[in-house]
Structure 1
Amino acid sequence: MEYDDDDFLMISGIQHFSFCPRQWGLIHIDQVWNENIKTMEGNIVHENCHNQDFIEKRGNVLISRGMRITSKTLGVTGQCDVVEFHRDDNDGCHLYGHDGLWKPFPIEYKRGQSKQIDADRLQLCCQAMCLSEMLSVPIEEGALYYHETHRRERVLLTENLRKEVKEMLDQMHHYLQTGYVPKVRPRKGCSSCSLKELCLPVICKKKSVDSYYNAVFEDDLL
């Protein structure tokens, strides 16, 4: 199956969905957004990454920033912060204007530090799956660079990660097509979410709209 361009999802949405499906729905279906200190810090971290005119060569490594990527089979589009192409004449791909074969190694830049949940790893894996489809080359690993620790976390792009990406995207496409915004499920991270004033997780947890109206009607009857 191939998706039409109009049905493409943003790759960055995978991180939102993994963290909180409702957050993803509010941003990508209801089109609402709000900044906080963490989102602003994230924007600053990415400013230098998304320079599409920047291509650097260091020995047998080519470095590309802000590379646009898509996948018709996954129905997604977006940008890679950084893609390193390592010279590999056994298992690489052809690059226009460069001799030999080159192996892609995607790197996603993140604020903060490494997390226990796989949200960042899933986003990186989706980028690698897009690159693999576009360049017809297998990609087994990539890296996450965390701004707070100034360290790279090497990520093996396992079959389990790839399967989770596909299942998550299928669910996201279904929600987008039906216009369904997932219900709130309050969690520890709600307090740091930039959308907490719009989502109102505490209020939504206490009482649904249906229960509110039922209570009002019961009071009127009494």
Structure 2
Amino acid sequence: MTRPAEYPEEDWLALSGLQHFAFCKRQWALIHIEQLWSENYLTTAGHLEHSRVHDYESSESRGDLLIMRDLRVFSRSLGITGACDVVEFHRAANGIKLHGRDGLWDPYPVEYKHGKPKTNDADRLQLCAEAMCLEEMLACTIQEGALFYQRIKRRERIPLNDELRNTVKKDLLQMHDLFTRAHTPQVRPTKACSACSLRNWCLPELTKTRSAQKYIDLQINGMNS
């Protein structure tokens, strides 16, 4: 698979899908290709917490710190678009110019998450992708961001290294390929399935060539015939 120099806007994927894809490729496909979704207590808690963060009108300035909430970002080279929970802009001698603001500023993305730090890179990949979008939009370099976890009430500082960046590119390339082919991959069940809001829709016993949505439609139509 080769990546185009730029993706047309109609082919952009949801940036937040990177987290789903890292957690489970099948979950990502069920949500973003087959348009299936189901709430559980974890997703509901996450939405409530994010509603406090995603309020662009509450962005504020505190001296040498500018806090922007729900900042919309995109990347033509990666083919993604989404919103950052919070981007802090710190006044810095070697920063960038911002429209309507005096001085120079360094961007610092902060993503808010429910629960506690994870052992996998799902959250870190989403944060890294947000930073890569900001870098493309603002013509800057971002070395670090942070994840704030509600359960422990503190930030985890994340170095945005080459390993994370390369994984973001590799995963997005595969996501674009699956999305273009409308293909839902088959994944072996794991312990993580018990916490998945889509566990009743996933139907892991399906063959690799049949989607969950087609299976569900078949069952409904069969019962109604």
TM, length-normalised to structure 2: 0.89
Structure 1 runs of 4+ off > 4 angstroms? 207-210
User: Can you list the C-alpha shifts for 1:130-165, whole angstroms capped at 9, x where unaligned?
Assistant: 000000010000000001110100000001100000
Secondary structure of the residue aligned to 1:63 is strand
Shift of 1:209: 8.2
**Structure 1 residue ranges without an equivalent (≥5):** 211-222
1:40 corresponds to 2:44: yes
In structure 2, what is the equivalent of residue 170 of structure 1? 173
Secondary structure of the residue aligned to 1:153 is strand
**Cα distance in 2 for residues equivalent to 1:157 and 1:188:** 29
**What is the Cα-based RMSD across aligned positions, in Å?**
1.2
Largest Rg, 1 or 2: 1
In structure 2, what is the equivalent of residue 71 of structure 1? 75
User: Can you list the C-alpha shifts for 1:21-71, whole angstroms capped at 9, x where unaligned?
Assistant: 000000000000000000000001100111122221122110000000000
Shift of 1:208: 4.2
**Cα distance in 1 for residues equivalent to 2:168 and 2:102:** 33
**Cα distance in 2 for residues equivalent to 1:170 and 1:148:** 33
Q: Equivalences for 1:68-147 in 2 at 5 Å?
A: 68-90=72-94, 92-147=95-150
User: Can you list the C-alpha shifts for 1:50-98, whole angstroms capped at 9, x where unaligned?
Assistant: 11222211221100000000000000000000000000121x1111111
In structure 1, what is the equivalent of residue 21 of structure 2? 17
Cα 1:73–1:208 shift into 2, 3 Å: closer
Secondary structure of the residue aligned to 1:98 is coil
User: Can you list the C-alpha shifts for 1:157-191, whole angstroms capped at 9, x where unaligned?
Assistant: 00110000000000000000011111122111001
Percent identity over the alignment is: 53
In structure 1, what is the equivalent of residue 64 of structure 2? 60
1:50 corresponds to 2:54: yes
Secondary structure of the residue aligned to 2:53 is coil
